[in-house]
């Protein structure tokens, strides 16, 4: 795919949704961090149902840590892997209190040192909370990047690096959200809704006629 086509793709995505953001509910960097940790192998809708009950009760490292694993588990038991996630969240809160003055650090290394936080979660927090031009490649972005040929790659890290290199810089901060939404609602896994896609004529995916 040439750069002119990429430019047009992201101009259309921006025109359609000028201020995209995550579908996770949060009001500060710490709430976002916790929501993203909880969202692994879970839906944003499911996480929001849990955090909508949790955050009014506890939404700081100190108050969530005070709940303990058992107390936190009561709020998040509807989310998959809730027991291990509760342990990670409590351990993360302790590190934030002890090492970061109860603040979410604005550095990849510090974020990835937190229990339950990998590269993708760190990228989401850096991008959404702090406005860094990072690219958190989930299953949706991986699929869209390869299917459209915006930035094909064999693995998540390869796609991430290509996207950061190839997407025009003016779109980088918001591109993560546009691509996730495109993959979640239009460029879906089994039968992409090409006829409803605003970049269909620019996409380099050749859909089989049997679809």
How many angstroms separate the CA atoms of 126 and 111, rounded?
Answer: 9
| Residue whose tokens read 């993203």 | 36
What the block records as the tokens of 48 is 């929001």
CA 83 to chain CA centroid, nearest Å: 22
| Residue whose tokens read 């490649």 | 137
DSSP symbol at 101: T
DSSP symbol at 43: -
How many angstroms separate the CA atoms of 86 and 188, rounded?
Answer: 31
DSSP symbol at 203: -
What the block records as the tokens of 3 is 């750069």
Active site residue 120: yes
- CB-count burial class (<10 Å; 0-12, 13-18, 19+) for 52: exposed
**Set 85, 94, 138, 206: catalytic member:** 138
Active site residue 206: no
**Set 74, 120, 191, 208: catalytic member:** 120
Residues annotated as catalytic (active site), given as ranges: 120, 138
């Amino acid at each position: 795919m040439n750069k002119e086509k990429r430019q047009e793709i992201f101009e259309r995505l921006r025109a359609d949704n000028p201020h995209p953001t995550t579908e996770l509910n949060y009001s500060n960097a710490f709430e976002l961090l916790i929501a993203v940790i909880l969202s692994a192998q879970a839906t944003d809708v499911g996480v929001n149902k849990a955090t909508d009950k949790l955050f009014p009760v506890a939404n700081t490292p100190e108050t969530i840590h005070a709940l303990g694993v058992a107390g936190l588990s009561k709020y998040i038991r509807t989310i998959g892997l809730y027991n291990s996630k509760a342990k990670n969240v409590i351990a993360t809160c302790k590190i934030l209190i002890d090492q970061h003055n109860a603040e979410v650090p604005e550095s990849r290394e510090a974020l990835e040192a937190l229990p339950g936080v990998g590269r993708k979660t760190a990228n989401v927090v850096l991008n959404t909370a702090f406005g860094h031009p990072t690219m958190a490649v989930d299953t949706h972005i991986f699929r869209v990047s390869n299917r459209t040929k915006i930035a094909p790659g064999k693995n998540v890290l390869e796609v991430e690096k290509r996207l950061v290199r190839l997407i025009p810089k003016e779109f980088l901060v918001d591109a993560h959200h546009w691509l996730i939404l495109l993959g979640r609602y239009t460029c879906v896994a089994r039968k992409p809704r090409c006829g409803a896609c605003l970049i269909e004529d620019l996409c380099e995916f050749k859909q089989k006629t049997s679809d």
